[in-house]
């Protein structure tokens, strides 16, 4: 059994994860609906488990509210990112990079629809549907960006999470087995296609 991670190291790791989300989001802000937050939260959930990922998502949302103030588009982060983490956790046994790229694309495609939920309260159902429909071209870009980023970066990021877990002496969350019946954890876990 590996020794447990010290609270100070745990906080440092979580802070780095939040910082990477924030910096990654800001770095791509000039591109419409191209973001790494979805990919990173998927990788965090697969690599570090849903509990840590949920803490990171909450801290990221609070940071976004601190930087950008409280707006409807930030409030939807309160439910959208935990929903992504929950879905990823439920599907965590899938080891295919193509699966995760398609999952990420689907999440991007439906992001606008999920983001429209607060508008039902503020402008009514017809207004929320109109708001969502007007953003469908951006949702298509979001889906394409998520697909491409996940297809290219999923494997290297999973390798890095395995390395970080090894450095921090952390057990891997249960990711199941791959299509060959091989174990789902350890340094070679990120190599599955």
The answer on pLDDT for 177 being more than 60 is no
| Domain 7-172 bears CATH identifier 1.10.1760 | yes
Q: Residue 39's closest CA among 113, 108, 89, 91?
A: 108
pTM over 0.75? The answer is: yes
Q: What is the pLDDT at residue 181? A: 43
Percent of the chain scored above 70 by pLDDT?
89
**Backbone dihedral angles phi then psi of residue 183, each to the nearest 5 degrees:** -60, 150
Question: Which tens digit of pLDDT belongs to each residue from 86-97?
Answer: 999 999 999 999
Q: What is the pLDDT at residue 191? A: 47
Tokens of 111: 């992001």
Cβ atoms 138, 113 nearer than 8 A: no
Provide the residue ranges of all domains of the chain, joining segments of one domain with +.
7-172
The better pLDDT of the pair 69, 189 is held by 69
The answer on pLDDT for 107 being more than 70 is yes
């Amino acid at each position: 059994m590996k020794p447990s991670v010290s609270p100070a190291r745990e906080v440092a790791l979580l802070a780095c994860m939040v910082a990477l989300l924030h910096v990654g989001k800001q770095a791509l802000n000039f591109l419409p609906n191209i973001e790494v937050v979805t990919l990173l939260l998927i990788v965090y959930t697969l690599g570090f488990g849903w509990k840590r990922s949920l803490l990171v998502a909450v801290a990221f949302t609070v940071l976004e509210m601190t930087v950008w103030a409280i707006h409807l588009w930030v409030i939807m982060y309160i439910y959208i990112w935990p929903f992504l983490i929950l879905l990823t956790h439920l599907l965590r046994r899938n080891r295919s990079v193509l699966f995760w790229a398609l999952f990420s694309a689907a999440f991007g495609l439906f992001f606008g629809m999920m983001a429209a939920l607060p508008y039902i309260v503020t402008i009514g159902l017809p207004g929320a549907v109109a708001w969502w429909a007007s953003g469908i071209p951006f949702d298509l870009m979001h889906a394409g960006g998520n697909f491409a980023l996940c297809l290219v970066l999923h494997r290297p990021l999973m390798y890095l999470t395995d390395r970080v877990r090894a450095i921090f002496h952390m057990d891997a969350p249960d990711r199941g087995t791959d299509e060959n019946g091989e174990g789902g954890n350890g340094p070679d876990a990120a190599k599955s296609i």
